[in-house]
Amino acid sequence: MADIIAGVATSHVPAIGAAIDLGKTQEPYWAPLFKGYEASKKWIAEVQPDVIILVYNDHASAFSLEVIPTFALGCAAEFPPADEGWGPRPVPVVKGNPELAWHIAQSVILDEFDLTIVNNMTVDHGLTVPLSLMFGQPKEWPCQVIPLAVNVVQYPPPTGNRCYNLGKAIRKAVASFDKDLKVVIFGTGGMSHQLQGPRAGLINREFDTRFLDNLTKDPQALAKLPHIDYVREAGSEGIEMVMWLIMRGALDDDVRETYRFYHVPGSNTAVGHIILENKR
């Protein structure tokens, strides 16, 4: 039986990817940030997941305004890195798991989460930066990855509650897959940040800390948080944090917080990172 054993949340700032790709991780600006992921790299090297379900958002790379799926599940065998305007990141092609992905799609659709099935898509920094943070610069990614792209660019994104419940449906889907697979789910994006307009640069450490606390202790309270609170308190792009609730919903109600890291700034963003493990 396949089993989701843990969840990882992390910001996915594009400048972090550029710092890795350009060999700047030891520069004074970046070194404290990358130091914060050393323990996580050790952790995931020990856990050795077979599959990562990676919840992220596309930043006008694979999806423009022509088609805007709220939830899009990558069911292909592989996903090349996207050219985001300065050439694709020099990272390995992401290998999927079509069998499990299709199983999840069928299961959650019958559970009334009508997501979009995608067989051809590139993946941008939203997906590849978290992989780089957790695995460094390998020749091949050490496990398969199922991308789950969530619209958080066009208002309205899905509600936190919808995301949390989708996580629960994904958990049920994975548990009913009849191959032995160790699965870790990633929620990415956030934390507080605003990239646009005269209020750009907004950071709210208090909001972020409370969000991290409640992610472990009281995700149901977080799931009730309305969009306006994210935008006002955590910045227009802080709304990405709804994606973390998909990860949380896919875990047990009772989880252990294994690791936490928080750092300001990563370019314009508060970089937040947490690892949660089921206690089983």
Partner 1 sequence: MTLQQQFDDIPGTTLFDAQRSRQGYHLNMFCMSLMKAENRAAFKANEAEYLKRFPMTPEQSAAILKRDWNGMISLGGNIYFLAKLFSSDGLSFQHVAAIMTGSTQQEYAQMMLNGGRPVEGNRSKSEWQQRG
Binding site for partner 1 (CB under 8 A): 14-15, 59-61, 64-66, 83-86, 153-156, 192, 194-207, 228, 231-233, 235-237, 264-265, 267-268, 270
Contacts of 185 (CB under 8 A, 6+ apart): 4, 6, 7, 8, 52, 53, 54, 55, 167, 170, 246, 247, 250, 251
State the first-to-last Cα distance of the chain, in angstroms, to the nearest integer.
15
Q: Which amino acid is at 197?
A: G
Minimum distance between the CB of residue 55 and partner 1, rounded to whole angstroms?
A: 18
Q: How far apart are CA 89 and CA 120, in angstroms?
A: 18
Nearer to partner 1, 137 or 196 (CB): 196
Bridge partners of 269, per DSSP, are 193, 266
SS3 196: coil
Burial class (CB in 10 A: 0-12, 13-18, 19+), 216: middle
Shortest separation between residue 65's beta carbon and partner 1, angstroms: 6
Cβ nearer to partner 1, comparing 14 with 249: 14
For residue 227, indicate whether it is catalytic.
no
Options 59, 125, 263, 273, the catalytic residue: 125
Task: List strands edge to edge, sheet with 181-188.
Answer: 116-118, 71-74, 144-150, 51-56, 181-188, 2-10, 269-278, 255-266
CB of 98 to partner 1, least distance (A): 26
Nearest residue (CB) to partner 1, 89 versus 103: 89
Of 12, 59, 103, 193, which is the active-site residue? 193
Output 23 or 85, the one with its CB closest to partner 1.
85
- Kindly state the smallest distance separating residue 171's Cβ from partner 1, in Å: 30
User: Any idea which residues carry the catalytic annotation?
Assistant: 125, 193
